[in-house]
Amino acid sequence: MLKEKDAYFIILEKDGVKGIGECGLLRGLSYDDRPDYEDKLTWTCNNISSGFDELYPALKEWPSIQFGIEQTFRQVEVGGSEILFDTPFTRGERGIPINGLIWMGDPDYMQKQIDEKLNQGYGCLKLKIGAIEWEEELKILKSLRNRFDALDLEIRVDANGAFNFSMAERVLDELADLEIHSIEQPMAKGKREELDALCEDSIVPIALDEELIGLTDAKAKQQMLEDISPDYVILKPSFIGGWRGTEEWIELAEAWGVDWWITSALESNVGLNAIAQYTSAKYIRMAQGLGTGSLYTNNVESPLFIADAGLWFDAEKVGKTADRPFFK
C-alpha cells in the first residue's frame, strides 16, 4: 500500500527561461530505484551544460531521469510555456479518452469504485485483480458484465504478475466468456516461455507492462517481443526513457503487429502533463491510462482536469509552469 510518493524535479534556467521536468521514480518498481539515485541526479545537474543529446544516452540505465531532462529541455525550447506540443488537446478542443481505474481491495470497496466510475460515464474500466480470492473478483466481473455487454462497457484487468502459470490459465479460461478486452501482466516479469504459451493459447488478449522495465536497447526490446508475442504493450514513459523511449517501443511494437496504449506511473501533474501532451500528438485508438493525477491530496497545480471520462487541458489556464507557487 502506497501512502506517499517522492517526486524529484529538475529545473533548468537559460537566458531567463525556466524549464521543469519530473523524474518519476516509483519505489520498488522503477528500474532505476537504486541507493545512488540522488547521486545520479546531482551528476546530471552538474553536467546539464552538456546538452540533452549528450546527456540522454549517458543516462541509459536511468530512464526516469532521462524523462526528467527531456521535459526540462523541451520546456526551455518552447520558451517556458506549459504547452510542450501544439495539439487539439492543448488547445482545449479535444480530450484524451481514459479508462476508469478500479483499485484492489475487498469486494465492497471495489464495487463502490465501479459504481462511482460508471456514474461518471466511463465506457472503459480497468480492474486491478490478484489481491483477494479470485472467486470474489470473478463474481464482481460477472456482475459487471451482466449489467453491461461488451459494446457498452470495455473491461480490462491488470494482475500485476500475481498468478503462477496454472492459475493464469484458469483465470484466462474463466475470463474468456466475459469478453474481457485484455489482461495485463498475468504472470511475473521474466517468465518468457510461460508468458509466450499463454499468449499463444489464450483467446483473451494479453498486455505486458512490467515486462518492459529494464529493457534499455532496441535489440533487447525486439527480442522480448519475439519471445512472447503479446497483443499489447503498456508504455509508461517514466519507466522506459521518456518520449524517446516510448517512440522506440511504438515503432518496434507496430512493426511486430503489437498494439499499445500509454499509462502514467503516479507522476505529479508535471510529469502527467508531459505524458498527456505527448500522447495527444499520437493517433489514439483506445482509452489511455492517464487518470492518476486525482489520487494525490497535494498535487501540483496544472491545466489538467478530468471530465466526460477523458483527460482535458484547460487552455485558458496556460502559463509558465515555473511561475506556479509550488516552484517558488
- Burial annotation 217-249 (CB, 10 A radius, 16+ → b, else e): eeeebbebbeebebbbbbbbbbbbbbbebbbbb
Measured CA to CA, the distance from residue 62 to residue 33 in angstroms comes to 9
Measured CA to CA, the distance from residue 74 to residue 51 in angstroms comes to 11
> Which of the residues are catalytic?
128, 236
Whether the CA torsion 303, 304, 307, 312 is positive or negative: it is positive
Measured CA to CA, the distance from residue 32 to residue 65 in angstroms comes to 9
H or E segment to which residue 102 belongs? strand 100-102
Which residue bears the cell 516510448? 246
Which residue bears the cell 549528450? 54
Measured CA to CA, the distance from residue 240 to residue 25 in angstroms comes to 11
Of the candidates 315, 316, 321, 312, the one whose C-alpha atom is nearest the C-alpha of residue 290 is 312
